[in-house]
DNA sequence: CTCCAAACGCAAATAATTTGCTTTTAGCGC
DNA sequence: GCGCTAAAAGCAAATTATTTGCGTTTGGAG
């Protein structure tokens, strides 16, 4: 659990190259439009030969997705507000805002555009984990908290769907979504009252 | 409303080229893996020169997205079952199934990977229109029917979110989602009972 | 019918990608 | 430590894709 991924050793050449390439991608992405970023450019910025990148990542999209997934990994747990509802609301609002930004949107698209389904799954897993943390805290306090799937489908899904297909949701609507999943607590899988 | 888009005249050279290229893309996509499809290949299959495609679409992704959007356009209205709930359920189940298929998934990704937001918007618009039709029919029968946005966020969003980021939902879960948006009818924007 | 501009075809020039081979280097047994 | 081995990187040539300049075709308007 302490290691991140890939490289045989943190300080090895392989790891150094990967770090250098990732750094180069982030730098170029910050400096110019994504459409202008090419593998030879990244290679030059990173101080490696293009063929190294081609052999390791195959194509530009894979590399961009790799970098994006890493950037999308949350660097801290969800903030605590005192209640599960407050935690979820605060987290969802921040999540929506981060993902709605230009860079956030691009990262999501990069992740989705990559070949396998591993990238998207990992991103989904990040959100899942954050919500699970909130749910556990709520459970520890003896509160009712909606199912993980209910939150994924009722809050995360609309946020990402609108970003990708329509227009990003505002904070107000996100709040309504959170209210919605709490309104439905216990309605599913609990054969009571319906 | 009778014309489709683009071309000056249905039988003109421009339209002929576009049709030929689109046909070529569909043929190649059916015959081989997407990763192997290149613009020169498409050009050869379509009987045009590559530069024509480059000038018109710019890059492979744009062309693939263009073709995908066209294929994603519904070719008929939602089936009528007698009730708004039944219509929505039937439509959502078919939608989920179509989009979950390998080809559906690929088309969505192609659309999302393209530059502008026009493609995704159009796809969202297709779904919106289908739902609006169902809603109008329900209204004409005097039934209650959820808001368009409630359906988009409560049914379409989870379906697509799971396909893109996790695992496609089964028909059972889709049914639950439809039930969910009907359970919430009138709860939003109508200041009653809460 | 003639003209104009947009779209296409062609081919040369440029850039990206692949590939075979050599060199470096991290991990491993001694 | 000391070599050995295999994975990963560098290098350069070959291949393939993309861009571009220019001449030609063609659809639409006067």
- Integer Cα distance of B121 and A135 in angstroms: 34
Tens of pLDDT along B84-142?
Answer: 999 999 999 999 999 999 999 999 999 999 988 899 999 999 999 999 999 999 999 99
Verify if strand C has an atom below 7 Å from the CB of A36: no
Helix axes B118-140, B102-113, angle to 10 degrees: 120
Do the domain assignments include residue A190?
Answer: no
Give A10's pLDDT tier (boundaries 50, 70, 90): low
Nucleotides of D under 7 A from a protein CB: 8-12, 16-21, 26-28
Other beta carbons within 10 angstroms of residue B30's beta carbon come to: 8
Residues B32 and B124 in one domain: no
Q: Tokens 């530059």 label which residue?
A: B115
Residues A108 and A53 in one domain: no
Which residue is the nearest neighbor of D10, CA to C1'? A49
- Integer Cα distance of A153 and A125 in angstroms: 14
Verify if strand D has an atom below 7 Å from the CB of B54: yes
For residues A111 and A123, the answer to whether their CB atoms sit within 8 Å is: yes
Other beta carbons within 10 angstroms of residue A24's beta carbon come to: 22
pLDDT for position A187: 56
Verify if strand C has an atom below 7 Å from the CB of A41: yes
Mean of the pLDDT values across residues A149-169? 97
pLDDT for position A27: 97
Residues B177 and B107 in one domain: yes
- Integer Cα distance of B178 and A68 in angstroms: 33
Total domain count for chain A?
Answer: 2
- Integer Cα distance of B25 and B39 in angstroms: 9
Do the domain assignments include residue B159?
Answer: yes
pLDDT for position A175: 97
Residues B39 and B123 in one domain: no
Tens of pLDDT along B154-173?
Answer: 999 999 999 999 999 999 99
Strands (DSSP E) found in A25-149: none
- The 8-class DSSP code of residue B161 comes to H
**Residue A119, both tokens:** 């990238």
**Residue A82, both tokens:** 């005192």
Residues A89 and A35 in one domain: no
- Integer Cα distance of A57 and B115 in angstroms: 22
Query: Which domain range does residue B54 map to?
Result: 13-58
Using a CB–CB cutoff of 8 Å, tell me whether A158 touches chain B: yes
Give B18's pLDDT tier (boundaries 50, 70, 90): very high
- Integer Cα distance of A8 and B40 in angstroms: 40
- Whether residue B123 and residue A165 make contact (CB cut-off 8 A), yes or no, is yes
Tens of pLDDT along B34-57?
Answer: 999 999 999 999 999 999 999 999
Residues A30 and A80 in one domain: no
pLDDT for position A186: 62
- Integer Cα distance of B194 and B180 in angstroms: 18
Do the domain assignments include residue B191?
Answer: no
Give A191's pLDDT tier (boundaries 50, 70, 90): very low
Q: A21: domain CATH number?
A: 1.10.10.60
Look at residues A162, A109, A71 and name the one whose alpha carbon lies nearest to residue B115: A109
Can you give the distance from the CA of residue B116 to the C1' of nucleotide D1 in angstroms?
60
Rounded to a whole number of angstroms, the CA Rg of chain A reads 20
Query: Residues of A from 23 to 42 whose C-beta is within 7 A of strand D: which are they?
Result: none
- Measured CA to CA in angstroms, residue A135 lies from A88, A148, A179, B180, B192 at distances of 9, 8, 15, 21, 30
pLDDT for position A137: 97
Interface of B with A in 102-131 (CB under 8 A): 109, 112-113, 115, 120-121, 123-124
pLDDT for position A190: 44
Q: B23: domain CATH number?
A: 1.10.10
Verify if strand C has an atom below 7 Å from the CB of A47: no
């Amino acid at each position: 659990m302490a290691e991140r991924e890939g490289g045989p050793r943190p300080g090895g050449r392989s790891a150094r190259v990967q770090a250098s390439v990732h750094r180069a991608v982030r730098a170029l992405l910050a400096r110019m439009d994504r459409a202008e970023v090419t593998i030879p450019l990244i290679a030059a910025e990173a101080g490696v030969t293009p063929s190294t990148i081609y052999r390791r990542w195959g194509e530009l999209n894979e590399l961009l997705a790799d970098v994006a997934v890493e950037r999308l990994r949350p660097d801290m747990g969800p903030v605590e507000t005192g209640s599960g509802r407050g935690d979820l609301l605060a987290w969802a609002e921040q999540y929506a805002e981060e993902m709605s930004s230009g860079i956030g949107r691009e990262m999501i698209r990069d992740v989705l555009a990559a070949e396998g389904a591993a990238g998207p799954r990992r991103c989904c897993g990040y959100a899942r984990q954050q919500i699970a943390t909130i749910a556990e805290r709520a459970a520890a306090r003896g509160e009712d908290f909606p199912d993980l799937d209910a939150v994924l489908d009722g809050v995360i899904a609309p946020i990402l769907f609108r970003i990708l297909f329509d227009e990003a949701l505002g904070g107000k609507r996100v709040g309504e979504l959170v209210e919605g999943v709490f309104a439905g607590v216990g309605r599913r899988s609990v054969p009571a009252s319906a």
